[in-house]
Amino acid sequence: MKTLKFAVLPGDGIGPEVMDATLAVLEAATKPEGIALDFTHADVGGIAIDNHGTALPESTLEVCRNADAILFGSVGGPKWENLPPKEQPERAALLPIRKAFNLFANIRPGLLFKELVDASPLRPDSIPEGIDIVCIRELTGGIYFGQPKQTVTLEDGDVQAVDTMVYKVSEIERIAEVAAVTAKARSGRVCSVDKANVLETSVLWRKTVVEYFKKNHPDLELSHLYVDNAAQQLVRDPNQFDVIFTENMFGDILSDEMAIICGSLGMMSSASLGTDNNSQGLPYGLYEPAGGTAPDIAGKGIANPCAQVLSAAMMLRYSFGLDAIADRLSAAIRKAVEDGVRTGDIAFGKSPVGTTVMADAIIERL
Ligand code: NAD
Ligand code: IPM
Ligand code: MN
């Protein structure tokens, strides 16, 4: 019997709620195929601070190292907001775990099913067929990780903080390759987003991307946009894009924008991949919703589990090679929302259901 060995790190806020729902869906999708799930829970984020005194315990890293993939919820929230910044869950757990496994490529699909067009804030006539684009975000470089990163008191008593945006050619080339491979499997169109009219890192980004595509992927249609223009073009006409790829912080911001034009953060999944293969000979990856712990709705049982389920589907696809089951999960979600089974974030006129009812509706339609 094929066994899928993965780490389950639910984290904080809605993380555990959508994770429980997702594991039930995953079980229902794999069991009839004769596939067994071998997953191990571990604490990460605020809950790990509470239970172990640190946001990313060594024992959690060990669980991840012994697995073929990580299914991750979300971390952070009001309870830990007053800790020193470097000890908070986001900076002490999420960024280090991405770095620890060298997960430099973050793939975030912007998919709005035709049946869900009414949940998008965009005019329905501007997206009659829905939306189908993808953001490739560089995840282990840029201003998130560059040094120095500190706050200092100056001689005159003023206080100054500094973050540093750093990119190397090698880092730009490897994410360009991921964008190219993604574009090849889709329409062949790829748009690189930067701020080359201001930032030195963006000047290097654009030059590197142009040369890399010219040399390695002359068949692809490469375009460039400044990030401010890209932000408004996304709202004006999202389907003019196919693959968007960009540096870490621009990708963070643009992907939330993509999520909302596709209905909700509760619908956007992601895969973070690196250079390592797992014991299956497939990419080791971390799979998590693009959104966060949603403190405004946490504990109420009303969070949308779809982003977490779709993240699990990406895990099946990339880390376990189970494309057919991944497709079935996506189709079941599509059918459920088409039938009007929707959580509050995507309900718009329909009467909203809770997390477990949404998950059950997906299971029924597998
Ligand atoms: P958020 O993504 O948690 O929430 C933004 C909005 O989207 C809220 O209104 C929320 O209710 C809604 N939303 C998000 N996911 C949803 C879902 N599955 N179903 C329904 N609605 C959903 O962003 P925030 O409020 O800025 O951040 C809250 C906390 O989460 C912060 O501590 C932040 O740092 C953290 N965060 C963590 C991750 C992560 O772990 N990957 C990602 C983003 C934010
Ligand atoms: C995301 C999140 C994280 C990021 C935060 C919580 C560190 O917003 O995954 O998009 O900025 O990468
Ligand atoms: Mn984000």
Q: Whose CA is nearest to atom 38 of ligand 1?
A: 292
Q: Which of 112, 150, 77, 133 lies closest to 266 in space, CA to CA?
A: 112
What is the tens place of the pLDDT at every residue in 120-171? 999 999 999 999 999 999 999 999 999 999 999 999 999 999 999 999 999 9
Q: What is the pLDDT of residue 139?
A: 98
Tell me how far the alpha carbon of residue 135 lies from the centroid of ligand 3, in angstroms: 12
Average pLDDT over residues 81-95: 98
Could you confirm whether 132 is annotated as catalytic? no
Q: Are residues 214 and 273 in the same domain?
A: no
Cβ burial 87-114 (10 Å sphere, 16+ → b, else e): ebbbbbbbbebbbebebbbbbbbbbbbe
Q: What is the pLDDT of residue 350?
A: 86
Q: Are residues 184 and 272 in the same domain?
A: no
pLDDT band at 1 (very low <50, low <70, confident <90, very high): confident
Q: Are residues 147 and 230 in the same domain?
A: yes
**Residue 13 maps to which CATH number?**
3.40.718.10
Q: Whose CA is nearest to atom 25 of ligand 1?
A: 294
What is the tens place of the pLDDT at every residue in 313-326? 999 999 999 999 99
Tell me how far the alpha carbon of residue 145 lies from the centroid of ligand 2, in angstroms: 13
pLDDT band at 349 (very low <50, low <70, confident <90, very high): confident
Q: Are residues 52 and 136 in the same domain?
A: no
In contact, 109 and 318? CB cutoff 8 Å: no
The residue behind tokens 């919820």 is 73
Q: Which domain holds residue 55?
A: 1-118+264-366
In contact, 239 and 319? CB cutoff 8 Å: no
The residue type at 348: F
Residue ending a domain, among 236, 261, 286, is: 261
Residue ending a domain, among 234, 261, 288, is: 261
Spatial distance between the Cα atoms of 118 and 82, rounded to a whole number of angstroms: 39
Query: What is this structure's pTM?
Result: 0.98
Q: Are residues 127 and 257 in the same domain?
A: yes
Could you confirm whether 212 is annotated as catalytic? no
- In the chain, pLDDT over 90 holds for what percent of residues? 99
- In the chain, pLDDT over 70 holds for what percent of residues? 100
Mean of pLDDT over the chain: 98
Spatial distance between the Cα atoms of 336 and 358, rounded to a whole number of angstroms: 8
Residue of 68, 132, 194, 252 with catalytic role: 252
What is the tens place of the pLDDT at every residue in 264-300? 999 999 999 999 999 999 999 999 999 999 999 999 9
Q: Are residues 100 and 129 in the same domain?
A: no
Average pLDDT over residues 82-102: 98
98 is in an annotated binding site: yes
Q: Which of 304, 293, 299 lies closest to 355 in space, CA to CA?
A: 304
Q: Are residues 66 and 175 in the same domain?
A: no
What is the tens place of the pLDDT at every residue in 35-49? 999 999 999 999 999
Q: Are residues 145 and 244 in the same domain?
A: yes
What is the tens place of the pLDDT at every residue in 187-222? 999 999 999 999 999 999 999 999 999 999 999 999
Spatial distance between the Cα atoms of 145 and 349, rounded to a whole number of angstroms: 43
334 is in an annotated binding site: no
Q: Are residues 341 and 316 in the same domain?
A: yes
Number of structural domains the chain divides into:
2
Q: Are residues 288 and 244 in the same domain?
A: no
82 is in an annotated binding site: yes
Mutate to test the pocket of ligand 1, among 56, 81, 297 (most ligand atoms within 8 A of CB): 297
Q: What is the pLDDT of residue 95?
A: 98
Q: Which of 236, 228, 191 lies closest to 209 in space, CA to CA?
A: 191
pLDDT band at 31 (very low <50, low <70, confident <90, very high): very high
Enclosing H/E stretch for 108: strand 105-112
In contact, 343 and 356? CB cutoff 8 Å: no
Q: Are residues 76 and 133 in the same domain?
A: no
Q: Are residues 150 and 178 in the same domain?
A: yes
Residue ending a domain, among 241, 261, 281, is: 261
Q: Is the ipTM of this complex over 0.85?
A: yes
Enclosing H/E stretch for 11: strand 2-11
Tell me how far the alpha carbon of residue 333 lies from the centroid of ligand 1, in angstroms: 21
Mutate to test the pocket of ligand 1, among 47, 71, 75 (most ligand atoms within 8 A of CB): 75
81 is in an annotated binding site: yes
- Helix axes 355-364 and 323-338, enclosed angle (nearest 10): 120
pLDDT band at 327 (very low <50, low <70, confident <90, very high): very high
Could you confirm whether 195 is annotated as catalytic? yes
For residue 61, pLDDT over 90 is answered with: yes
DSSP H helical ranges for the chain:
15-30, 46-52, 58-65, 89, 95-100, 169-184, 200-216, 227-236, 248-261, 306-320, 323-338, 355-364
Mutate to test the pocket of ligand 2, among 163, 252, 255 (most ligand atoms within 8 A of CB): 252
What is the tens place of the pLDDT at every residue in 183-192? 999 999 999 9
What is the tens place of the pLDDT at every residue in 10-22? 999 999 999 999 9
Tell me how far the alpha carbon of residue 44 lies from the centroid of ligand 2, in angstroms: 15
Q: Whose CA is nearest to atom 36 of ligand 1?
A: 292
Residue 151 gets the label, from left (phi > 0), alpha (psi -120 to 50) or beta, of: beta
